[in-house]
Amino acid sequence: MERLSGKVALVTGASRGIGRGIALELARAGADVAVNYRTHPEEAQGTAEAIAALGQRALAWEADVGNRDAVREMIDATVAHFGHLDIAVANAAFSIREPVIEAQWEHVLRTIEVSQFGVFHTCQMAAQQMVEQHQQGLAGGKIVIISSVMEEICFPESAAYQMAKGAINCLGRTMASELAPYHINVNVVNPGWIDTPGERRFYTEEELQERGSYIPWGRLGTPEDIARTVAFLASDAAEYVTGATLRVDGGFILGLRLGGEGGY
């Protein structure tokens, strides 16, 4: 059953990894999807083509979510192309791993600019559009923020990223309260250790397989694991769910508390 038939979704950072998984899962559920990217244009186009192959409309749009003007243009282009916006998934993030005492300030700023301010820009402007639609008699909307278990438990060399994740979880709860009168649901997903192309910057395939075995579920998560959760939150099945944070980590944090050897 296409639970999202007739809906339009925007997914930031959707050229690959978790964002691509989310975009495709929303399309499988019947949504048309705007695919945001800043880098990897060929992969973004591939995501758009995969959405089209599923029978849904797609729009690939380049925008740096850390730039407010670019986000405004992206939201406007999405509405102009599809006619409305029903689902916004703030997924785009950026991180450079450095110890605090060695962190280069430009790296810290860029991390916050994308991973925190970019989420704010996306959620704020999507909410403005959804409130306007509500006032025109259309249904509310769904906003999903992709955060991280690193909001809950902090690891070395990721201070700026973890600061940003803590902030966007607070943003999600605040917006859920403010937007409830408009029946706009705002929820947060905290993925655990997910097998994405970005992880290959830090680990070999063998290391990822070995360390994944330490997670209680026995493997790293996949983009599809996160995508299915987002599709649920974007559907009418989650109509009464707002202000929630759903941890999707295969027991990763439980394993840490129990002395497992998993870790970032």
Task: Read off the pLDDT of residues 124-171 as tens digits, 9 standing for 90 and up.
Answer: 999 999 999 999 998 889 999 999 999 999 999 999 999 999 999 999
Spell out the domain ranges in the chain.
8-257
**C-beta of residue 65 within 8 angstroms of C-beta of residue 114:** yes
Region class of 201: left (phi > 0), else alpha (psi between -120 and 50), else beta:
alpha
State pLDDT tens for residues 44-80. Answer: 999 999 999 999 999 999 999 999 999 999 999 999 9
Q: Which amino acid is at 52?
A: A
- For domain 8-257, the CATH superfamily is NAD(P)-binding Rossmann-like Domain (3.40.50.720)
Closest CA to 219 of 250, 189, 240, 179: 250
State pLDDT tens for residues 101-129. Answer: 999 999 999 999 999 999 999 999 999 99
State pLDDT tens for residues 179-234. Answer: 999 999 999 999 999 998 877 777 888 888 888 898 999 999 999 999 999 999 99
What per-residue confidence (pLDDT) applies to 207? 87
Question: Which residues are part of the catalytic machinery?
Answer: 161
Q: Judging by beta carbons within 10 Å of its beta carbon (0-12, 13-18, 19+), is residue 39 exposed, middle or buried?
A: exposed
